Amino acid sequence: MDSMKKETGIIAAYLSFLLFGGPLFGFGEKILVIGAGAGWNTVASRTGVTEIHAIRPYPVLVLTSSDPSPGDASLDMSLSFDESAPELFTDRIGQYRVSSSPGISTADRRLARIGMGAALFSGTMIYSPGQEDPGIVGPLRLTPKDRNALFSAGRHIKDFSIEFWLFPLNMENGEHILAWNATRQGVQRIQCTASRNRLQWAFTDFFDLSDPESGAGGDAERTTVSLNGDTALVPRTWSHHLVRFDSETGLLEYLVNGQSEDITYTTRTGREGGQIRYPVAGQGGSFVLGSRFMGMLDEFKIHSRFAPDPLVRKYPARGGRIETRAVDLGEYNSRVLKIEAAGGRTSNTGGVIQNEYVDNGNFRFSDGSMIQFFIRAGESPYRWDKAAWRSFIPGTGLTDIQGRYVQIAAAFYPSGDGETTPYLDEISITYLPDDPPRAPSQITAVARDGGVDLVWRASPDRDAAGYVVYYGTASGEYFGQGAACGDSPVNVGNRTAIRIDGLLNGTLYYFAVASYDRLNPLHIGAFSREVSARPLGTFE
């Protein structure tokens, strides 16, 4: 019997601790998830970061493989191939008409070099009625709309550059990557073709001795200027190609992946210092892309200048950054216990996508790619000027991170070679809300002449610092006015009884009491049960 009494006493003491002694570790913790199934709407700002699918079940955040020259004023033509279908391909500069035909489709961002998509060519040879040379036709044609286009009919061109990304499937001899076809003293052409796994450029009747300003003079003889690639292109691998012309020197240069492959001068001798031949666009010209070619093209551009050495990294070295909006944890003085994260890194080499997944940790990978995480907290969603960012490692415990609102930031950095991006799949915030103290109990109301006496039992929570009394003339609507102690609600401090004078005799009043803790502003809890009383006067 004594042992049973002892055991009962232990259980009672344990229950008393739960009720009055504060929460156990982990008791009352909450988790808020950003990303994964919850989506990324919480992210308020993104710089150099975008969402993609197909890596995880839900969209993940990665670095943007964006166009390095979106605001380049020298752009004469720019095709990103990010549209969902070939018939929607558009020159975003607006100076060339784009026409597609069978033999071309789209590849999504998983295979594209830059942005959301690429043009996928099947190797089909497209013929026109009566056309003898299929090399001048193809599945994609680009035609100048008006005189504003650099290659409009009869225009005397100064500097120019042509660039694109290329992904050949096999790189067979005779594949036509690009062709310009026009009429000028016969057929004028620019051709870029494959030979021995290399690209060759030929400019036929394109450069002329006429003055680039007035067009005076001219060259009666037909000329062909050639450039030959020296680097063997690897099938199923992206490579960048750039041809550029400098009208001051007559330099014509071909670069692959930013490295010079061949140079020549458009002079009579082919050497620097002679009389320069300048480009002149023929009549009825158009560009044709992908005739006899099997593979992908991306980011095809024409510039009206001698373009600088290209940036051939897939992801910019500066990386990117996200910041969430102020996330409301629901209660003031909430304490963040830890932040967990899931993600990894992803790359696309030769069309082969490789992913590595991690769960928490420092998100630093062997190739130099990484994500760095930051947090700050405060009691207001607007005043962050005094809240400093603090870095943290996902999965580790946090201290001294308190507030109703928190912001999370993440800085994304690519691999050293710019070919790998880290990705973020999910962020979860584990926090302990500082709930307001529970309401007082055993509230009673006794009517007096012109007032009511209220008495209650104190809140069981140790952090209760005072009480607020609500009153009104309708149940659940505590908008009372005119009492001697003030309009509803009335802060009565750390008391458990009060007389409310100045009420109207004969009127039924309703009352409720709530507790608050020591926070500023007051952290007021839920209402107690409602009581009512009707003040009545005395008759003499």
DSSP string, 55-70: SSSS-EEEE----S-T
Mean pLDDT of 340-357: 86
Residue 2 lies in a domain: no
- State the Cα–Cα distance between residues 166 and 243, nearest whole angstrom: 14
Residues in the chain: 540
Which tokens sit at 425? Answer: 């799949």
Yes or no: say if 112 and 50 are a contact pair by the CB < 8 Å rule: no
Residue 306 corresponds to which amino acid?
A: F
Looking up tokens 């061949």, which residue turns up?
Answer: 262
Q: How many CB atoms lie within 10 A of CB 186?
A: 10
Mark whether 485 and 422 lie in a shared domain: no
Determine the longest span between alpha carbons in the chain, in angstroms: 131
**223 token code pair:** 């000329």
Examine the domain organization and report whether 382 and 482 are in the same domain: no
Whether the pLDDT of residue 404 is over 80: the answer is yes
DSSP H helices, 332-465, are: none
Residue 232 lies in a domain: yes
Residue 497 within a domain: yes
CA–CA dist 323, 49 (Å, integer): 11
Residue 259, beta-bridge partner list: 256
- Mean pLDDT (the chain) is 88
Residue 470 and residue 479 in contact, taking contact as beta carbons nearer than 8 Å: no
Using CB atoms within 10 A of its CB, is residue 144 exposed (0-12), middle (13-18) or buried (19+)? Answer: buried
DSSP run (H or E) holding 211: none
In a domain, 309, yes or no: no
The counts of H helices and E strands in the chain are 1, 36
Are 408 and 517 members of one domain?
Answer: no
Distant-in-sequence, close-in-space partners of 122: CB < 8 Å, separation ≥ 6: 103, 104, 105, 139, 294
Please give the pLDDT value at position 518: 82
Q: Domain check: are 408 and 463 in the same one?
A: no
* Residue ranges making up the domain that contains 486: 441-533
Question: Does 426 lie in the same domain as 448?
Answer: no
Using DSSP bridges, classify how beta strands 104-108 and 96-100 pair: parallel, antiparallel or unpaired: unpaired
- The pLDDT tens digits for 437-465 are 899 999 999 999 999 999 999 999 888 99
262, 263, 266, 267: CA torsion to nearest 10: -120
Let me know if residue 20 belongs to a domain. no
**pLDDT at residue 136 greater than cutoff 70:** no
Of 540 and 387, more confident: 387
Report phi then psi at 3, rounded to 5. Answer: -65, -35
284 and 333 share one domain: no
Going across the sheet that includes 497-501, the strands are 441-448, 451-457, 497-501
Please check whether residues 189 and 235 belong to one and the same domain.
Answer: yes
Residue 384 pLDDT exceeds 90: no
* pLDDT (tens digit per residue) in 363-376: 999 999 999 999 99
SS3 for 20? Answer: helix
- What CATH number is attached to the domain comprising 364? 2.60.120
Q: How far apart are CA 497 and CA 458, in angstroms?
A: 10
**Short-list 67, 76, 124, CA closest to 100:** 124
Calculate the CA dihedral of residues 205, 211, 213, 215 and round it to 10 degrees: -60
Same-domain check for residues 235 and 252: yes
Q: State whether 348 and 411 are in the same domain.
A: yes
Q: How confident is the model at residue 109 (pLDDT cuts 50, 70, 90)?
A: confident
Q: What is the CATH number of the domain that holds 467?
A: 2.60.40.10
Question: For residue 290, which of 119, 93, 88 has the smallest C-alpha distance?
Answer: 119
Has residue 496 got a pLDDT over 90? Answer: yes
End residue of a domain, out of 252, 272, 303: 303
Judged by average pLDDT, the poorest of 102-116, 146-160, 414-428 is: 102-116
- CA-to-CA distance for 302 and 244, rounded, in angstroms? 10
Per-residue confidence (pLDDT) for residue 331, from 0 to 100: 84
- Structure token pair of residue 277: 């031949």
Q: Does residue 540 lie within any of the structural domains?
A: no
Of 400, 432, 464, the position where a domain reaches its end is 432
CATH number of the domain enclosing 164: 2.60.120.200
Q: What is the dihedral sign for C-alpha 308, 310, 316, 318?
A: negative
Quote the CA–CA distance of 450 and 507 in Å, as a whole number: 10
Structure tokens at 510: 């309703």
Domain boundary among 270, 303, 336: 303
Q: Is residue 336 part of a domain?
A: yes
| 424, 329: one domain | yes
Residue 539 pLDDT > 70:
no
What does the pLDDT average to over 514-518?
90
Q: Determine, yes or no, domain membership for 55.
A: no
146 pLDDT higher than 60 = yes
Domain total in the chain: 3
In 382-504, which ranges are E strands? Answer: 390-392, 405-413, 420-432, 441-448, 451-457, 466-472, 490-493, 497-501
Q: Are residues 294 and 325 in the same domain?
A: no
| 445 and 423 share one domain | no
